[in-house]
Amino acid sequence: MAQTSELIEFRRAFVWLLCGMLLPSVALVAFGFVAVANERAAVERRLSDEYVARLQLLSHDLGQRLDKASQAAIASQPDPLVEAIRIPGPELADAVRKARDPTRGTEPFYATIDQRAYALIQTPAGIRAAQLDLDAVAAEVPRLAAVHNAVRERATFRLAPRTAGLATLKRIVAEAGAETTVVARLPLGPPLDGFSLAAELPGDDPAAALAFRNRTLYIALLVLLYVGIGLGFGLTLREMRRAYRLSRLKTDFVANISHELRTPLTSVRLFAETLREGRAESPEEVRECVELLSHESERLSRMVENLLDWSRLESGRSPMRLVPMPARALFDSIAQTWRAQQLPVTYQTEIEPGLPPLPIDAEAMSQVVLNLLHNAFKYTGEDKKIVLRARRAGRMLAIEVQDNGIGIRAQDKKRIFERFYRADDLLSRGTEGTGLGLAIAKKIVEAHAGRIELDTKAGEGSTFRILLPQPKA
């Protein structure tokens, strides 16, 4: 239940962290896109406001120019914008009637019929008419705009159709605006209904270019932000998982050490009470009780030594004194300690000929190898076949402990060197241990600038390999 509660708290903390980071970042993304869109709209509005005033002035000048041209044509004076014509039939009847309004005086009345623009003026001789040349009008617009440009500016002005217009005018517009961007429009009235004055800037839309640049920069920053958030989440998740796993390992360690200490302490108390109460009557029984007390005391000592060794290695208070030592001398020292422990099994020793001395701390490396030999002894069956081997492994020197035991499962192989971790379950455990032996071995080997590897397969035994750098010549 405790582990389940810790897992729930871990997941809850991660969800809160996720919400606390993602929700503000999503709001930031939305705000950024809205800000970029608003900035583009503001630039477009500023450009439009700036050029609409120019277009209004140009519209007034164009109207005066058309009035002047119409009056000149009706007075039989040539003008490229208009051409005097005879009043055609019924299509201009309504326009003629309106042009005869006495309140208009000599002001031209304009009419657009079938995509043709006409100017009608009342004279003493009657109504006179002229037809506007729209192509010439379109060509006149840039010249009128240039009159007010004291300083050369980037914008150009042209006559643009709002709806389908003349084919020739369409061609002129297409040629003029092939590589430009319209930034402002002003619809025109008679006689240019359906047309508008347009202000253009060369190249792409400046507002679009600015928005694209800002959007690209913003997206790049967002990518960096989310990469940072992703890395932060990954590191945080890893650390939280490590903290959760360490908490579980510590809980398991307390259970393990309590279980392992209970057995020898119970035996010590039992045999001590036996001797105190005088239940061991014969000298043989007394000697047996004393031997068992000594054995259980050694078990307790090994557990305590493991804990002390781990504490020293974690705190860095156990420096290694590396001295070149022949493999034979190391193996002889290990064999002497093995025999002193009176274990009821022997192991085979193999040393590659010509092997250079091993750069090791003899006492620390003996502890590592003895730990691996004890594991091989504990986790093999009746027919124990244990081999201690020294050989070359590429550019490294290898010390191997091979057994024919039960092997290690694939799911335990990655964690077998973790502190407090034991592959066997607490309730079904048949071997003693604190879960620190292999963790201590790994620490000692790494202090030798080496590494420890494991080749194993469940049911087919294991090979622990210590790889050490060769001594420099």
Residues 278-322: pLDDT tens digits?
877 788 888 888 887 887 787 778 777 767 766 776 666 667 788
Residue 253 sits in the same domain as residue 159: no
Same domain assignment for residues 273 and 186: no
Q: Is residue 214 part of a domain?
A: no
Using alpha carbons, list the distances in angstroms from residue 118 to 59, 82, 83, 199, 233. Answer: 18, 9, 9, 26, 74
Res 127 pLDDT > 70: yes
Q: Give a yes or no: residue 414 inside a domain.
A: yes
Residue 270, pLDDT score: 83
The strand order across the sheet containing 109-113 reads: 82-85, 126-132, 116-123, 109-113
Instruction: Give the Cα separation of 376 and 464 in Å (integer).
Output: 10
Are both 329 and 296 inside the same structural domain? no
Q: What is the DSSP letter of 395?
A: T
pLDDT tens-digit map of 244-259: 777 776 776 677 667 6
Domain edge (last residue) among 296, 313, 330: 313
CATH code, domain carrying 295: 1.10.287.130
Output the pLDDT for position 65: 82
Burial of 102 (0-12, 13-18, 19+ CB in 10 A): exposed
Rounded distance between C-alpha atoms, residue 308 and residue 310, angstroms: 5
Co-location of 182 and 265 in the same domain = no
Highest mean pLDDT among 220-234, 339-353, 417-431, 449-463: 449-463
Q: Which residue has the higher pLDDT, 342 or 217?
A: 217
In this structure, the answer to whether residues 354 and 443 fall within a common structural domain is yes
Is pLDDT at 353 greater than 90 in this prediction?
Answer: yes
Statement to judge: residues 288 and 164 lie in one domain: no
Would the pLDDT of 436 be above 70?
yes
| Residue 446 covered by a domain | yes
Same domain for 330 and 307, yes or no, is: no
Residues 96-114: pLDDT tens digits? 767 676 666 667 777 777 6
Residues 29 and 156 in one domain: yes
Determine, yes or no, domain membership for 231.
no
Same domain, 14 and 148: yes
Query: Which two tokens mark 276?
Result: 């105190």
Percent of the chain with pLDDT over 70: 73
Q: Which of 203, 218, 237 is the last residue of a domain?
A: 203
Phi, psi of 152 (to 5 degrees): -65, 130
The type of residue at 126 is G
The enclosing domain of 388 has a CATH number of: 3.30.565.10
Asked if residues 457 and 440 have their Cβ atoms less than 8 Å apart, the reply is no
Is 230 inside a domain boundary?
no
Average pLDDT over residues 419-438: 58
Residue 189 sits in the same domain as residue 50 = yes
Length of the chain: 473
| Backbone angles phi and psi of 118, in degrees to 5 | -125, 150
Q: Do 280 and 395 fall within a single domain?
A: no
pLDDT at 248: 74
- Asked if omega into 191 is within 30° of 0 (cis), the reply is yes
Is the pLDDT confidence value at 409 over 80?
yes
Give residue 8's domain range. Answer: 2-99+110-203
Among the listed ranges 167-171, 260-264, 275-279, 280-284, which one has the minimum average pLDDT value?
Answer: 167-171
d(CA 409, CA 67): 100
Residue 104 lies in a domain: no
Instruction: Label residue 426 by pLDDT band (50, 70, 90).
Output: very low
Q: Are residues 338 and 357 in the same domain?
A: yes
Pairing label, strands 126-132, 82-85: antiparallel
More confident residue, 360 or 95: 360
The answer on pLDDT for 397 being more than 90 is: yes
Q: Is 208 a member of any domain?
A: no
Mean pLDDT for all residues in the chain = 76
Q: Which of 186, 203, 220 is the last residue of a domain?
A: 203
How many whole angstroms separate alpha carbon 307 and alpha carbon 280? 35
Reported as a single tens digit per residue, the pLDDT across 58-78 is 888 888 888 887 777 777 777
Predicted TM-score of the model (pTM): 0.45
Owner of token pair 């009345």: 109
Report if residue 114 sits inside a domain.
yes
Higher pLDDT, 286 or 17: 286
Higher-scoring residue by pLDDT: 439, 210: 439
Q: Mean pLDDT lowest for which of 92-96, 114-118, 194-198, 425-429? A: 425-429
How far apart, in whole angstroms, are the C-alpha atoms of residue 371 and residue 242?
Answer: 26
Number of compact structural domains in the chain? 3
